[in-house]
């Protein structure tokens, strides 16, 4: 599918009842989550997605033949993002990601940057891994440790990673991080069974990054970042189903992208990201674009991790 086809609005009319019904089944406790994810992912389990003939990655499941393949995507509505100034806290998307993945300091798998606006002022831009469909990182990895799943999610298998860091050099978004030493982690992280979809516990000499939370998608939940956003600025959905949700509303994805002049970062490079942005500077939540600055990111689990206070990369 071309960019024009993907971003063009669908024929006039409401969202098909069949599609809405699958999403609305997830209503519970007054909060709409992407409840269909569990069923959808279960019908399209991931495979290694490796084209060089290497062995499959342990813990990554093959797609079910004959089942419809999902194409996960994220939309970040910058009109609703004020860097969490309105709640007087560090960016909550980053905080939730760090806590959920036990990400070592100073890793911020989804980092909120401050970008200058024409004529002055700033906007806040949450930036996860862009989940490229023509990923330079995958193309250069010499041992296939970085790979794309059939659903389009780019993962890292730390069991294979040799720490060459070529993928970091190839990433045009600077969204990969390296463990130079053995990072301190909270005790509970050591009991997690390693899986490329979660990357816990962290390992010395390996690369880590945002993984789009496929383990949560399989359970029918939104990613940590989307669930934690106080302004519901992050949508997660499926380009194949043409639906997405931020936990509060369901939108037809193609129309939402087209009607709000969406864009992707560094599109001219041809990496084909799966993360889309709606232009804005927090005006939807009353943010003054001339009020810059955000609270510093914190690593909430540091107090529970031995040696974290003196950890240095």
How far apart CA 209 and CA 171 sit, in angstroms, is 11
Helix (H) or strand (E) holding 182: none
Q: Note the pLDDT tens digit of each residue in 6-38.
A: 434 444 334 444 455 454 444 333 333 344 444
Give the least confident one: 56-60, 181-185, 261-265.
56-60
User: What confidence score (pLDDT) does residue 134 get?
Assistant: 97
Spatial CA neighbour of 194 closest among 41, 57, 99, 96: 57
CATH of residue 98's domain is 3.30.70.20
Q: Is residue 313 part of a domain?
A: yes
User: What confidence score (pLDDT) does residue 189 get?
Assistant: 83
Tell me the backbone φ, ψ of residue 312, rounded to 5 degrees.
-140, 135
Best mean pLDDT range from 47-51, 115-119, 127-131: 127-131
User: Is residue 290 within 8 Å of residue 283, measured between CB atoms?
Assistant: no
User: What confidence score (pLDDT) does residue 42 get?
Assistant: 36
How far apart CA 270 and CA 87 sit, in angstroms, is 37
| Cα separations in angstroms, 74 against 18, 40, 100, 116, 221 | 22, 16, 18, 23, 14
Q: Note the pLDDT tens digit of each residue in 158-205.
A: 999 999 999 999 999 999 999 999 888 888 888 888 989 889 899 999
How far apart CA 170 and CA 167 sit, in angstroms, is 5
Q: Is residue 34 part of a domain?
A: no
User: What confidence score (pLDDT) does residue 51 get?
Assistant: 41
Q: Is residue 220 part of a domain?
A: yes
Domain that holds residue 283: 71-313
**Cis peptide preceding 106, ω within 30 of 0:** yes
Range list of H helices, the chain: 3-7, 17-24, 36-42, 92-101, 136-140, 166-170, 214-218, 224-228, 253-259
For range 226-252, the mean pLDDT: 96
Q: Note the pLDDT tens digit of each residue in 86-128.
A: 999 999 999 999 999 999 888 999 999 999 999 899 999 999 9
Q: Is residue 180 part of a domain?
A: yes
Q: Is the pLDDT of residue 66 over 70?
A: no
How far apart CA 26 and CA 20 sit, in angstroms, is 10
The count of structural domains within the chain is 1
**Residues paired with residue 32 on neighbouring β-strands, in sequence order:** 27
User: What confidence score (pLDDT) does residue 299 get?
Assistant: 86
Question: Tokens 């516990």 sit at which residue?
Answer: 201
Model confidence pTM above 0.95:
no
Q: What share of the chain is helix, strand, coil (3-state, %, to 5)?
A: 25, 15, 60
The full length of the chain comes to: 313
User: What confidence score (pLDDT) does residue 57 get?
Assistant: 62
Q: Is residue 47 part of a domain?
A: no
Q: Is residue 43 part of a domain?
A: no
Of residues 41 and 243, more confidently modeled = 243
User: What confidence score (pLDDT) does residue 297 get?
Assistant: 93
Q: Across the chain, which distance is largest between two alpha carbons, in Å?
A: 59
Q: Is residue 19 part of a domain?
A: no
Spatial CA neighbour of 250 closest among 261, 269, 266, 237: 237
Q: Is residue 102 part of a domain?
A: yes
């Amino acid at each position: 599918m071309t960019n024009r086809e993907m971003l063009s609005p669908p024929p006039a009319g409401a969202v098909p009842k069949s599609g809405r019904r699958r999403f609305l089944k997830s209503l519970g406790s007054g909060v709409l989550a992407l409840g269909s994810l569990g069923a959808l992912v279960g019908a399209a389990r991931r495979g290694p997605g490796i084209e060089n003939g290497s062995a499959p990655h342990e813990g990554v499941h093959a797609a079910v033949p004959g089942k419809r393949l999902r194409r996960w995507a994220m939309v970040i509505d910058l009109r609703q993002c004020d860097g969490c100034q309105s709640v007087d806290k560090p960016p909550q998307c980053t905080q939730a990601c760090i806590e959920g993945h036990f990400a070592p300091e100073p890793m911020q798998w989804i980092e909120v940057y401050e970008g200058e606006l024409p004529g002055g002022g700033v906007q806040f831009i949450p930036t996860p891994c862009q989940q490229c469909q023509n990923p330079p990182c995958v193309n250069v990895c010499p041992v296939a440790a970085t790979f794309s799943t059939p659903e389009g999610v780019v993962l890292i298998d730390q069991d294979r990673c040799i720490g060459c860091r070529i993928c970091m050099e190839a990433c045009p978004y600077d969204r990969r991080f390296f463990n130079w030493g053995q990072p301190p982690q909270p005790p509970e992280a050591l009991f997690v069974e390693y899986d490329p979809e979660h990357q816990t516990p962290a390992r010395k000499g390996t690369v880590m990054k945002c993984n789009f939370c496929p383990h949560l998608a399989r359970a029918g939940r939104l990613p940590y970042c989307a669930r934690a956003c106080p302004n519901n600025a992050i949508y997660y959905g499926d380009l194949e189903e043409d639906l997405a949700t931020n936990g509060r509303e369901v939108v037809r994805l193609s129309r939402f992208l087209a009607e709000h002049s969406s864009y992707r970062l560094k599109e001219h490079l041809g990496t084909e990201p799966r993360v889309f942005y709606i232009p804005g500077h927090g005006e939807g939540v009353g943010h003054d674009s001339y009020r810059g600055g955000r609270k510093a990111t914190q690593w909430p689990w540091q107090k529970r991790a031995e040696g974290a206070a003196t950890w240095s990369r």
